[in-house]
Structure 1
Amino acid sequence: MTTFLTPHQRADRTSAAVGAAVAAGRGLGLTVSEPVVLHDVFSVVVHLAPSPVVARVPTALPRPDDLDALARRQRDELDVTRWLADRGVPVIAPSPLVPREPVKRDGYSMTFWPFVEEARGKEPDYAANAESVAALHAALRDYPGHLGFLSAADPDSIADGLDRLGRHPDLIGPDDLDRARREWRLLEPLVRSQGAFEARFPGIGIQPVHGDSPAANIFNGADGDLYADFELITLGPVEWDLAALGPELEAAYDRGARRNGMRPLDKDVLAFVNALGMLRAIATLALAPRLPELMEYLAPAVDHWRTTPFAGGMSG
Structure 2
Amino acid sequence: MSGHSLVERAWAILREVCDDVGIHSDGAELLRVRSNAVFKLRDQIVVRIATAPDALTRLPAVLAVARWLAEQGFPAVRPADEISEQPVVRDGRVVTFWHYVPASGRPTTTELGRILRSLHTLPVPPVALKRFRDPLAEVRAAVIRSEVLSGRQQSWLAHRIDELTDSWSGLTGEGAPVLLHGDAWIDNLLRCSDGHVVLCDWDGVAVGPREWDLIHTYHGQRRFGLTTADVDAFASAYGSDLRAWPGYATLMEVRDMYAVGIHIRNAASDPFSYRELSRRLDSLIRGDGHARWYMAEPA
**Residues 120 and 179, structure 2, Cα contact 8 Å, conserved in 1:** yes
Shift of 1:300: 5.5
Amino acid at match of 1:46: F
| TM-score normalised by length of structure 1 | 0.74
Q: Quick one: structure 1 residues 190 and 206, their matched pair in 2 at CA, closer, same or farther if it must change by over 3 Å? A: farther
1:134 counterpart (117, 131, 145)? 117
Q: Where do 5+ consecutive residues of structure 1 fail to align? A: 64-68, 192-196, 310-316
Instruction: Tell me whether 1:160 sits opposite 2:137 in the alignment.
Output: no
The equivalences for 1:180-195 within 5 A come to: 180-189=157-166
Q: Distance in 1 between matches of 2:72 and 2:148?
A: 48
The equivalences for 1:59-208 within 5 A come to: 59=51, 61=52, 63=53, 69-99=54-84, 101-119=86-104, 122-139=105-122, 141-150=123-132, 153-155=135-137, 157-163=138-144, 168-169=149-150, 174=152, 180-189=157-166, 197=169, 200-201=171-172, 204-208=175-179
Q: Quick one: structure 1 residues 13 and 148, their matched pair in 2 at CA, closer, same or farther if it must change by over 3 Å? A: same
Q: Distance in 1 between matches of 2:283 and 2:233?
A: 23
Aligned length in residues: 276
The equivalences for 1:205-224 within 5 A come to: 205-223=176-194, 224=196
**Residues 45 and 100, structure 2, Cα contact 8 Å, conserved in 1:** yes
RMSD, matched Cα: 3.1
- 1:112-170 deviation line (CA, Å, top 9, x unaligned): 01122222xx234234323432122223x332222222268251x2223334569733x
- 1:166-190 deviation line (CA, Å, top 9, x unaligned): 9733xxx94x766543332233256
Instruction: Tell me whether 1:286 sits opposite 2:264 in the alignment.
Output: yes
Q: Distance in 2 between matches of 1:275 and 1:71?
A: 29
Q: Quick one: structure 1 residues 25 and 149, their matched pair in 2 at CA, closer, same or farther if it must change by over 3 Å? A: same
2:247 counterpart (248, 269, 275)? 269
Shift of 1:256: 2.9
**Residues 40 and 100, structure 2, Cα contact 8 Å, conserved in 1:** yes
Q: Distance in 2 between matches of 1:293 and 1:167?
A: 13
2:9 counterpart (13, 16, 41)? 16
Q: Distance in 1 between matches of 2:173 and 2:192?
A: 40
Q: Secondary structure at the match of 2:191?
A: strand
